[in-house]
Structure 1
Amino acid sequence: TGVCVTCASHVCYMCVTGVCEEVCSRAQINSCSDCIRTGPFCAWCQQLNFTKAGEQEAVRCDTVAKLRTRGCNGEDIITVINHRTVVKDQPLSQTFDQKEKEPVQLRPQEIRLKLRPGLPVSFSVHFKQVQGYPVDLYYLMDLSFSMNDDLQNVKKLGNQLFTALEAITQHGRIGFGAFVDKTVLPFTNTNPQKLQKPCDNSLVACQAAFGYRHVLSLTQSKEQFRIEVDKQHISGNLDSPEGSLDAMMQATVCGDRIGWRNSSTRLLVLTTDAGFHMAGDGKLAGILEPNDERCHLHNNLYTSSSNTDYPSVGQLALQLEKQNIQPIFAVTDEVYDIYQLSKMIPKSVVGRLSADSSNVVKLITDAYNIRLSLSSKVTLTHGPLPENVQVTYSPKCDDPGPSGGSTGVCNGVQQGKEITFEVQVVSSSCLSSPQTFSISPLGIKDSLTVTVESDCDCKCHDKLQGALHPHCSFQGTVECGMCRCTEGFLGQFCNCSSDRRAQTESCRRDNGTECEGRGTCVCGRCQCHSKPSGTFYHGAFCECDDEQCDYHLNELCAGKGKCHCGKCQCNPGYEGDACQCAVSRESCTRNGAECNGRGTCKCNACECDSGYLPPLCLLCPSCPDPCNAKLSCVECLAFDVGPFKKNCSVACSSVSHQKVTHLGNARHCELKDSEGCWVRYRLQQLVGRDRYSADVLEQRDCPPSLVAIVAASVASVALVGILLLLLVKLLLYMRDLKEFRRFENEKKKSRWAQADNPLFKNATTTVTNPTFTGE
């Protein structure tokens, strides 16, 4: 079996027994051109009679090795290779010479590639930064009131700036610009008096409020720089964030006003002690027009400051890259983190500015030199690529940096040292027309123009080209070994007339519909129809559809495989019906056993056999209790009793056991065996189906003999009788004692009845006879 692996060059190989070989997929091949477009290793055999009777012409398409194995002669094998032509390759310049129009720092300058789809081509790009290359440094300063002491220092630092620039290059120039903020509320006080003098301190010379002013174009004159900077005064505004991005955008796009040279390293130094307003903040002042990234300087003053919004960082980054300008943010500690924009603005550098800007010269020097890697780091990248074209870089230098698919990085590159990048270009499909893109180092104007076109057609050398050929029954011509029949004839050898059809039985699968209803039976072979999407059904009976596979996350075969004949053929490292699963056994495996031997691992999850439950195929709670199921084996193995006594080794081969003195507190089985004895044991399920290990308590609890039971019963009855008699005796005694005590109490009370009560009088009864007259 083989596994298809994709290498760094995007080319697929088949690994068989550890050896990688080229592969060629032959789906939907109807011509030599189809074969060439299928894969980078596909070749075409134009040899006549290469195919057998009834065999599809697609077998002509395969790798060169397999075609030769099938008997195709070497001169009849047609393939396409890449072609690389260097159109312009001027040598690299050694030093900068003002007499030269443009120094050369990158070679070659123009190259033309003719690519076969899927087959990569490599070439070398050389870069060397010219010694003494010109530097243009534009100093952009925040003139809000808090920068007053900084301005005084900058006025004194003119000579130092030029001295530092001369140490870098003999061809350096410096310019100067200033900014504050938009002159509208709520950014600036719009009171007419405040607009003319926005500073609070009346003793300080203060200039009128402004957004951005271009003060001095790039110049080599120290005196001119000193004079123009001396004229500058502080200004003011209301809020803390300033219009830094507005000023940087104008200094970038107004190249003719600033004086940027075509051949120079362009540095834009921004000094400030405040953050910046960005796109959207202008809405606070009712400014809804987005920044148009155009120059709006009139009399060196930014005139659209109050009409258009601030630019976004992305807009500024795009223009800086387009103009090859490298920004240096010299900012105070309070806003240092705010200006960490290197991810959005490539090659930008942030330095910590002292409170009075006294260290600005050292900061600029450090930023340009190796410490901040502005000039020592070379990043090679490309512009917008044509569709389906990919470019990768491999730096060949002493300190290669982290390189991705779209960049190549070399660190610690000194001026005058040549470095090389290996560039690889591959086109995944045929291009309709030649396409062009550029490769250049970031911040450097030099570039390499690459023109890419596709080579997707075969150049066959057929004999009797264009004439009716006997191989085609004189009813067609030969093109790349295949017959192209004249009108009225069909078939592999043009031997079938179009007005009569061959028998259709061979076009029916299992006596079903002719060509599955997806094609036409011609000369006993199915010619499959195309689908609305433009693809074709295929197969001997047109039974295959390469768009009817399972989907995952709305992607056919999860985007990790190809659909072939209704089934996903997954890329290496993926599996599942829809190639939705990365190949892994981690969640299925414990102690080296996959699913405990009671299931199969699919998509990194166990599919358990009947009676077992995921995730690791353990016995399900509702399944029969293994304690009862394994009792007979336990008693025959451990105590040689029970129904399996005579056949224990065979009937209980799946159970292993050992006797132990105690079972601990873990859950265990406790059942009566066939002799009525209590057997205690603990079962552990082993890897595999119905395999257990039993720890059996070495002593059983068996019932005593009948005599002992009778004796114990009689003794128990006698004991109970005695206890009952004693209880009755005790109750009688307690009752007699109670009666005696009551008698004693009554006796004591009788003594009081013998005394005479002086207050007691007997009852008197008077009887009168009404008839007695007294006589």
Structure 2
Amino acid sequence: MNIVKSDSRHPLQNHKIRVEEASLSEYMEIDVELQRPCPCEEPAEPDDEYGRFQCVNQGYLNCGMCICDEGWTGTFCNCPTDPSNATTTEALLRTCRQPLDKEDNSLATEVCSNHGDCECGSCLCDPGYTGNFCECLECIDCDEERAECYCGQCVCKYGWSGTQCNCKDSTDECTGPTGEICSGRGSCDCGVCKCREPYLGEFCEIDAEKDNKLCQFYEPCVICLIAQKQHMGSCENVNEICFSAQYNERFTHLFVNELEAETVCLVRIVNKNGIQCDSYFSYQVVDHANYLAIQANDCEPVNIYAMFGYISLITVLLGLVIIALIWWCLRLKDAREYARFDQEQRNNARQENPIYRDPIKRYEVPRALSIETNTDNPFAD
């Protein structure tokens, strides 16, 4: 607050009010110009009940202001003078201004850093601010078990890091089953692997052009499990093969008909029938526990008799189909030839000699002659 004195004939008092939101960095300043009030000529009434009630019964009201009893001060006489040894309102406001040097010789002009109200020599901070002079922002998402708040900033305890102290300094979360941090292809950032190009995967184990380190790591275990399932001989050291002694990994496997995973690994073995067979599996790592889903193919040998029967049946069916096609083609060809012959006969006009007379003639007896009774016509009825 800045107070500017002016000419006594036109007494003025200037106040600067700063309005801001705790969660925003913007603010607004308002300059208010007040005229000094006229001198008060109201007689004092120390025993007036209403006036003493307005001043918390520790003073009396005179000219709209509290005149405090001995030992009390403040706007409403609600502040004792003993704790701060301040006897005036200005002295109380002084205790709410932040010191600018170690000897407290220089004080800030803002009361409670413009982020609170001065109450009896102590700052009552606005929401979002803290500190003796409301000079610090409150910490956001600062876990007390992982960090301590110092003037708006989370200072991480031992073993934690990050802007919110939510990251462990340990790299255990980035260490894959192979025992490497991010498979040696990236860096661990807050418990998550940041892979270099062109590597992918939770542990940067996938090289799209070459290999998958975890597929290679799990392959001996998966081969052993498939061998046990298909009775290809005992795999006595399955626990040893499917176990990483360095990190005490746990393996849980499940045989499925179809795999539903983005990353699928291929394992190729020769089964008990001597057939090279391809099977597939997918992996998932949760809290250093390995979960394997295996799609094992039996690849049974071909039945010769069944194959011969199928080939014979297919041959007979194919022969019948060919015969039917040939017969249909011949019928279609004959139909086309006949249609063409018939059309040619219709289009061929018959040429006759005008001198030629057909020797065969037909005569018809007139009806009038045939009905006479006295005729000698032998053709009459």
Q: TM-score range by the shorter chain?
A: 0.3 to 0.5
Normalised by the length of structure 2, the TM-score is 0.43
CA radius of gyration, larger in: 2
Higher relative contact order (CA 8 A, sep 6+): 1
TM-score, reference length from structure 1: 0.24
